Amino acid sequence: MKARYKVAGMTSVLLSLAFCLLWSTGSVSAAAEGKITGTVKLDGAAPHMKGIDMSKDPYCVKQHENSPAHLENVIVGPGGGLQNVVLYISDGLSGAEASQVPSQEPVFDQKNCMYTPHVLAMNVNQKFKVNTSDQTTHNIHPLPNALAGNIPWNKSQPPGAPPIETSWKTEEVAIPVKCNIHPWMHGYFVVVKGPYATTDEKGSYTIANLPPGSFTVTAWHEEYGTQTQKVTVAAGKAGTADFTFKAK
């Protein structure tokens, strides 16, 4: 009997300790002003991105009359900067820091029969929107691995339809998205925990809102896979991590 009280006492002490910890890390990350910045480059010649034949749908053809559309699997800027690389913290965040979800809602737009952006990163449970700016019907069909926790779905989105607002339940790098009506439309949702960033047309990125600490940064690209680096961030300061992927 006594032993049981002891156990109960111990657990309540431990629980309150855990709460204090959660509380403090919560307030620390509220003031988390550190960041990791860097550039991702492609070493070697960028592969040729094929032009897209959109003749299935005259509307799509019309949108690209003056600027032919190309596949977007590998987009390299001047100086070799690699676009659409998602960078996230794969190790070093506390549970509380990793499960914070931004209230801002990223948007995945169907525009001129292409996905904008081609790769959309987000957090687990972060609400995001699938929008259509086109005057032609799309069907939006994400294909996650059902056995890993995220379930595939397939919805039609005719012109003028309201955005679809939804979220993903678990981490998944990455979920392919496609439109069956326009088979060239292909993109990715990248679902991660904690602060993340996507490289711009120069290959640059900044992961903001980091507490001080040592982190593993993972860089993911749809054609070149993943790379990781260890980075230390001092309170309120910026750490650096540059990545180079080798062209195939």
Task: Give the residues lining the site for ligand HEC (CB under 6 A).
Answer: 139, 180-181
- Closer residue to ligand HEC, CB minimum distance, 60 or 119: 60
* DSSP string across 158-222: -TTPPPEEE--SS-EEEEEEE-SSSTT-EEEEEEESS-EEE--TTSEEEEEEEPSEEEEEEEEET
Pick what 50 binds: ligand HEC, other proteins, none; C-beta below 5 to 8 Å, kind-dependent.
none
Q: How far is the CB of 159 from ligand HEC (least distance, A)?
A: 14
**Residue 153: contacted member of other proteins, ligand HEC, none (CB under 5 to 8 Å, by partner type):** other proteins
The distance of closest approach from Cβ of residue 196 to ligand HEC in the complex, given in angstroms and rounded to an integer, is: 32
Task: Closer to other proteins by CB, 167 or 229: give it.
Answer: 167
| Residue closer to other proteins, measured from CB, 42 or 120 | 120
Kindly state the smallest distance separating residue 215's Cβ from other proteins, in Å. 30
Residue nearest to ligand HEC (CB): 180
Q: How far is the CB of 156 from ligand HEC (least distance, A)?
A: 6
- Between 124 and 233, whose beta carbon lies closer to other proteins? 124
Shortest Cβ 143–other proteins spacing (Å):
6
- Site of interaction with other proteins (CB under 8 A): 56-59, 62-63, 133-137, 139-141, 143, 146-147, 151-159, 161-162, 164, 180-183
Residue closer to ligand HEC, measured from CB, 102 or 158: 158
Nearest residue (CB) to ligand HEC, 60 versus 124: 60
